[in-house]
Amino acid sequence: MSDPFLHSRRTLTLRFDIPISKTREFWDALRDGRFVTTKCSNCGNISFPPQADCPKCMGNEFSWVDLGKDATLVTFTYVQITPASFADNDPYIIAIGELQGGLKVLAWLEGVKPEDTKPGMKMRIEARLAGEGNPFYVFVPA
Ligand SMILES: [Zn+2]
């Protein structure tokens, strides 16, 4: 049987690349424990990460929709050799989860061992606060 894990030896950085200016509400909602994103008022396109300008029709009117916190694991990478910026961290899992609406989200997966991590498993998005008080989000097993 082949090794079920995808071992990464490359530097892998995970940034939460969400522009702050018009999408502050995303972080405010996350602080309140809600996971939201933008929906274009013109064409109805739902974007993740939140976009102030619709990538489909270039409209700039949008509303916020609640995405819910349930996700299904699509794939993951177990990072054993941590890049310098995470030198203090244990090895970690980066996962891609699919939300109920079909959007895919990249985040760390916590609370499960790599050998117990299986595509198709149910997960939940949880908000976390970093040391500086900045919110971020992770997946945890549901
Ligand atoms: Zn649009």
What is the Cα–Cα distance from 128 to 37, expressed in whole angstroms? 17
> pLDDT tens digits, the chain, 142 residues: what are they?
444 444 444 444 555 656 556 678 888 898 888 999 999 999 999 988 888 889 999 998 999 999 999 999 999 999 887 666 655 667 889 999 999 889 999 999 999 999 999 999 999 999 988 877 778 899 999 9
**Single pTM value for the model:** 0.77
For residue 18, the model assigns a pLDDT of 60
- The alpha carbon of 45 and the centre of ligand 1 are apart by a number of angstroms equal to 5
- The alpha carbon of 42 and the centre of ligand 1 are apart by a number of angstroms equal to 5
Taking only the tens place, the pLDDT of each residue in 94-126 is 999 999 889 999 999 999 999 999 999 999 999
Cβ(76)–Cβ(117) below 8 Å: yes
> What one-character DSSP code corresponds to residue 129?
E
What is the Cα–Cα distance from 9 to 47, expressed in whole angstroms? 31
- The alpha carbon of 39 and the centre of ligand 1 are apart by a number of angstroms equal to 8
Tell whether the torsion through CA atoms of 118, 119, 124 and 129 is positive or negative.
Answer: positive
- The alpha carbon of 52 and the centre of ligand 1 are apart by a number of angstroms equal to 10
Cβ neighbours around 126 below 10 Å, total: 17
Please report how many Cα atoms fall inside a 13 Å half-sphere around the Cα of residue 126, on the Cβ side. 14
For residue 90, the model assigns a pLDDT of 73
